Amino acid sequence: MEKVTHVKVTLAEVRGDFGKMLRRFIKKTKKQRIVQEVLDRRFFEKPSKKRRLERVKKKRNAQKAERERNKKLDIR
C-alpha cells in the first residue's frame, strides 16, 4: 500500500518569490523523505541485504555518538 503525501507551497506563502517557493518545496519533500524513498525503491533489494545495511548503519551511528560523547568529556 502506498503512502499518499501532499506537499503544497503557494506563492502567497512566500510573498511571490518563486525561488523561495522552490526551496521551501524541496525542503518539505526532503523532510517527508519522498525523493529518498523513490531512490530506495528504484531497484529491488533483498531483505537480507536491507537488514545487513541497517545493522551497519546502526553500528556507524553508535560509533559516531560515542566519539561525540568522548570528545565532549575529553576522553581519548
* 1-26 residue pLDDT tens: 567 778 888 888 888 899 999 999 99
Co-location of 36 and 64 in the same domain? no
Q: What is the pLDDT of residue 76?
A: 67
Co-location of 10 and 30 in the same domain? yes
Co-location of 21 and 48 in the same domain? no
Task: Say what the pTM is.
Answer: 0.55
Query: Which grid coordinates belong to 46?
Result: 533483498
Q: Which of 21-25, 41-45, 55-59: highest mean pLDDT?
A: 55-59
The range of the structural domain enclosing residue 38 comes to 1-43
Co-location of 34 and 57 in the same domain? no
Confidence of residue 53 (pLDDT cuts 50, 70, 90): very high
Co-location of 35 and 3 in the same domain? yes
- How many domains does one find in the chain? 2
**Cα gap 21→25, rounded to integer Å:** 6
Q: How far apart are the first and last CA of the chain?
A: 48
Q: What is the pLDDT of residue 23?
A: 94
Q: What is the pLDDT of residue 55?
A: 98
Co-location of 5 and 27 in the same domain? yes
